[in-house]
């Protein structure tokens, strides 16, 4: 009887061990889940969105590994991101904090924002005014933020909002020339995004890319831990939707 219990315990430990190995393998080389804690990517991504990031999209670096273990030199199996990709990267300032933004500038590009309009290589990026983004405050009031569809030079379209019109802190910048092996990233919520326009973030080295945001698997208004609120708090229309 004792021998059977010992054998059963060993089998349980082996099963758990293999399950952990498989989970680590998937998280490292395939997909990793992330949640959205801030509104810098509104209206594309909302606070309370949960998404999967593909780790294989741009190859692998040490930031592909748990705890950013320094086991991969530089970046291997590298594929360059496309302009307009929504990516997760490690903040260059500390190589630890996860940020999610949209790739706007590629190596060699000259990026500038003038009067709220994005310019790439001296050419203004087309933007079209569409219906306002409705922002619901805890007080019950509703704010209407100007919303645009921006069309990048490669034809990629995405929405942006300009909560402060064209007079926000980052709406008039110098010209940024993106160095080789780096990228210029911006949030879609242009007046509420700490991104490559500011020295706290700056250019993003290719080694700091974690992966491309692929699709939402969950979305909720409020705390995910308050399970009793799920029937009314879950944003069912956002579940399993792709990220453009």
For 216-237, b/e burial (b = at least 16 CB within 10 A) is: bebbbeeeeeeeeeeeebbeee
Pairwise CA distance, residues 183 & 157, whole Å: 19
Mean pLDDT for back-to-back runs of 10 residues, the chain (244 residues)? 64 75 77 95 97 96 91 95 98 97 98 97 98 85 94 98 93 98 98 97 98 97 93 95 95
pLDDT at 6: 65
Q: Are 92 and 68 a contacting pair, CB within 8 Å?
A: no
Q: Which of 55, 101, 196, 219 is catalytic?
A: 101
pLDDT at 94 (0 to 100): 96
- HSE on the CB side for 49, CA within 13 Å? 26
36 and 188 Cβ atoms separated by less than 8 Å: no
Let me know if 54 is a catalytic residue.
no
Residue 215 φ/ψ, nearest 5 degrees = -155, 155
Which CATH homologous superfamily contains domain 34-126+163-238? Umud Fragment, subunit A (2.10.109.10)
pLDDT at residue 3 in the model:
60
Beta strand ranges found along 55-178 (DSSP E): 86-90, 98-105, 110-114, 117-120, 123-124, 126-136, 142-151, 157-161, 176-177
pTM: 0.90
Q: What residue segments make up the domains of the chain, in order of their start?
A: 34-126+163-238
Please tell me which residue in 40, 64, 193, 196 is annotated as part of the active site: 40
Does the active-site annotation cover 40?
Answer: yes
């Amino acid at each position: 009887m004792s021998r059977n219990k010992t054998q059963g315990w060993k089998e349980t430990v082996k099963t758990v061990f293999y399950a952990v190995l498989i989970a680590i393998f998937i998280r490292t080389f395939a997909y990793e889940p992330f949640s959205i804690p801030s509104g810098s990517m509104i209206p594309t991504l909302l606070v309370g969105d949960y998404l999967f990031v593909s780790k294989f999209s741009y190859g692998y670096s040490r930031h592909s590994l748990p705890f950013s273990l320094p086991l991969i030199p530089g970046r291997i199996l590298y594929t360059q991101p496309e302009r307009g990709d929504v990516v997760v990267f490690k903040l260059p300032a500390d190589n630890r904090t996860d940020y999610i933004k949209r790739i706007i500038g590629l190596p060699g590009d000259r990026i500038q924002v003038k009067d709220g309009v994005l310019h790439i290589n001296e050419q203004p990026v087309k933007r079209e005014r569409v219906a306002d983004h409705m922002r619901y405050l805890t007080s019950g009031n509703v704010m209407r933020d100007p919303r645009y569809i921006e069309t990048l030079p490669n034809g990629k379209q995405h929405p942006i909002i300009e909560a402060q019109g064209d007079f926000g802190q980052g709406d008039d910048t110098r010209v940024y020339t993106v160095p080789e092996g780096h990228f210029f990233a911006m949030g879609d919520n242009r007046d509420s995004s700490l991104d490559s326009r500011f020295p706290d973030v700056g250019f993003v080295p290719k080694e700091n890319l974690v992966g491309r945001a692929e699709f939402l698997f969950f979305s909720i208004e409020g705390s995910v831990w308050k399970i009793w609120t799920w029937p009314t708090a879950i944003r069912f229309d956002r579940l399993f939707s792709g990220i453009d």
